[in-house]
């Protein structure tokens, strides 16, 4: 994380979204950043991944889905998505994935220049 935040321009791209302990191992949780809903997933191996929070099929809450090693299964209709890139694994849909970094037990997200207002993170 230190390298990613070495300049003011780069630091502005990264926002703290949560503390690592706010998400249990093997679980997902939805966070609201401005108008954007983001699902954070803490895998059993401790890695953290982030995707848009809603399945593009019928807006299923992906944070409530079943996690695999690098997949999440939508709780509504069972569609599988890659936690690495948001691609549909058994469907033609795709979800936006976000870069995540953990520093000092805080999770930071890069919204890729998304047009979210900079008004903090709501849970």
35-56 average pLDDT score? 96
Determine which of 10-24, 26-40, 68-82, 89-103 has the lowest per-residue pLDDT on average: 10-24
Token couple for 101 = 């970094």
Estimate to the nearest angstrom the gap between the alpha carbon of 8 and the chain centroid.
Answer: 23
Is a pLDDT exceeding 90 seen at residue 118?
Answer: no
Q: What is the pTM of this model?
A: 0.82
pLDDT band at residue 10, thresholds of 50, 70 and 90?
A: low
Return the domain boundaries, the chain: 8-113
Write down the number of H helices and E strands in the chain.
Answer: 1, 10
Residues 106, 113: Cα–Cα separation, whole Å: 20
Length of the chain in terms of residues written: 123
Domain boundaries 8-113, CATH class: mainly beta
Nearest to 92, CA basis, from 80, 102, 83, 104: 80
Q: Taking CA 20 as the corner, what is the angle to CA 19 and CA 23, rounded to the nearest 5 degrees?
A: 100
DSSP 59-95: --BGGGSEE-SSEEE-TTT--EEETTT-BBSSSS-B-
pLDDT band at residue 63, thresholds of 50, 70 and 90?
A: very high
């Amino acid at each position: 994380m230190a390298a990613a935040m070495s300049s003011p321009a780069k630091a502005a791209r990264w926002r703290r979204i949560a503390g690592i302990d706010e998400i249990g191992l093997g679980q997902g949780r939805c966070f609201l950043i401005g108008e954007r809903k983001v699902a954070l997933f803490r895998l059993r191996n401790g890695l953290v991944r982030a995707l848009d929070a809603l399945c593009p099929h019928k807006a299923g809450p992906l944070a409530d889905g079943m996690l695999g090693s690098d997949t999440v299964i939508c709780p509504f209709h069972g569609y599988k998505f890659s936690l690495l890139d948001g691609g549909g694994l058994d469907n033609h849909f795709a979800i936006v994935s976000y870069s995540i970094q953990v520093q000092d037990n805080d999770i930071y997200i890069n919204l890729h220049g998304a047009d979210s207002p900079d008004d903090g993170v709501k849970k």
